[in-house]
Amino acid sequence: MILLVDDDELVLEVCSASLTETGYETITFNSPLEALPYLEQAEPELIVSDLMMPDMDGFGFREAFLEKFPARHTPFLFLSSMSDPDIIIEGLERGADDFLLKPIDHRVFAAKVKSLLKKKGASGHAFRGDLAQFPLPKVMRFCELKGITGGIEISGEGVNATLRCRSGNFELDKQGRSAALEKVLGLSSGRFTILVDPVDYSDLGRMDIPAAHNQAPASPEVPTGALSGVRVRDRLFQVQSEYVEPGQQIVTLVILDGKVRLKRGTPAPLSLGRSALQQLLEEQHVAVEKEIQEKLNEKIEEKNQAEPTAKQRFNQLLEDGLDYYRQGEHDKALAVWEEAAALNPGDKLIETNLKIVRKKLGLG
């Protein structure tokens, strides 16, 4: 989820529409003072904030956020209508992750968001999914088998909770219960995010490593399974790989809407050893993910090529309007965007762009 803060409602609409079209979930606020209480209940992946706002500016917002949530490492992308290098330098020195100048080019905006999320992912890992596709007990079992240290954020049916785990063991109270788990265990729909904490290397130099002769020999175990999702547009394919001891083979299943759509099996005798088996399992899992992605992209491309050129014309008008807008030729931008709206009525991005340019021209 990406949190957007700007006192200009039109800017919020443009940013939210651009990210939604790309597949991101967003929530918007008109002021940092409204956003901070919400942040006590949820942790976004990225915060996009205007720099100049009446109640609290963007820099002040970030400082208040860090003071309130010192353990979080949420990146900040600032929006600014000022191209003064001193302002940008000040922001970077105060910890801003990136800047984007208004008016916003939706392509650049989406690219910056993707880049910041990728950088954030380098220090930790996350997997998001639908509880209808991945029931919570199965998600928890996966975390146990993987020995994950981190947590599962769950939201759905008006309930929000976080289940924390360490080395695959979920945190319980003295009575062996979990109030958070009791709230969400019965959910049949909603969203979840598996968060894996980054490794803390600060104690490496102080660790007392036992001598090799005191270590117990490794037991011949089967490889750890893999579970992931491949999303193509609005379709989420579950990819699951496991080692099946009867028959000694690695089996990968691709599941959509509860039905197995593809099954791939590879002979893998235990005599190969756990390390080699783990590598084979991971390679097969990745290969199937890639195969599904490529096949679906080919079908989408074939469908796009078969569509009439109206879609290509619409995209060209959208780009032409942005060029006119950046050059200050708002009347021309209005004309081409109105033509685009006629080709694709109800497009949210075009409707938002039209609101902005009409406001610039004093047309309401």
Q: Kindly state whether residue 95 falls inside one of the protein's structural domains.
A: yes
- Cβ–Cβ under 8 Å, residues 163 and 181: yes
Q: Kindly state whether residue 151 falls inside one of the protein's structural domains.
A: yes
Per DSSP, the three-state class of 154 is: strand
> Which amino acid type is present at position 297?
N
- pLDDT of 46 reads 92
Residue found under tokens 């000022």: 82
- pLDDT of 219 reads 36
Angle between helices 32-39 and 58-68 (to 10 degrees): 20
In sequence order, what are the residues at sequence separation of 6 or more whose Cβ sits closer than 8 angstroms to the Cβ of residue 231? 23, 237
Same domain, 18 and 109: yes
Q: Kindly state whether residue 219 falls inside one of the protein's structural domains.
A: no
Strands (E), the chain: 2-5, 26-29, 46-50, 76-80, 98-101, 125-130, 150-156, 159-166, 169-170, 191-196, 226-232, 235-244, 249-256, 259-267
- Cβ–Cβ under 8 Å, residues 178 and 171: yes
- pLDDT of 47 reads 94
Structure tokens at 8: 């200009």
Give the C-alpha separation, 239 to 295, whole Å: 15
- pLDDT of 272 reads 84
Same domain, 39 and 100: yes
- pLDDT of 34 reads 94
Nearest to 114 by CA among 238, 205, 209, 24: 24
> Which amino acid type is present at position 103?
P
- Cβ–Cβ under 8 Å, residues 334 and 350: no
Same domain, 57 and 134: no
> Which amino acid type is present at position 318?
L
Structure tokens at 348: 């949210």
- pLDDT of 132 reads 81
- Cβ–Cβ under 8 Å, residues 26 and 16: yes
Same domain, 61 and 83: yes
Q: Kindly state whether residue 325 falls inside one of the protein's structural domains.
A: yes
Same domain, 68 and 129: no
Same domain, 30 and 100: yes
Structure tokens at 77: 């992308």
Q: Average pLDDT for consecutive 10-residue bins of the chain (364 residues)?
A: 91 88 87 93 90 89 86 83 70 74 82 79 60 82 82 82 83 71 79 72 49 40 76 74 82 79 87 86 89 80 64 84 85 91 85 85 82
List C-alpha distances in Å: 127 to 119, 130, 219, 241: 15, 10, 30, 16
- Domain span at residue 273 reads 224-305
Same domain, 14 and 96: yes
Nearest to 32 by CA among 8, 74, 10, 62: 62
Residue 200, number of CB atoms within 10 A of its CB: 8
Q: Sign of torsion, CA 148 124 157 234?
A: negative
Give the C-alpha separation, 76 to 96, whole Å: 6
Same domain, 231 and 299: yes
Question: Domain count of the chain?
Answer: 4
Q: Kindly state whether residue 108 falls inside one of the protein's structural domains.
A: yes
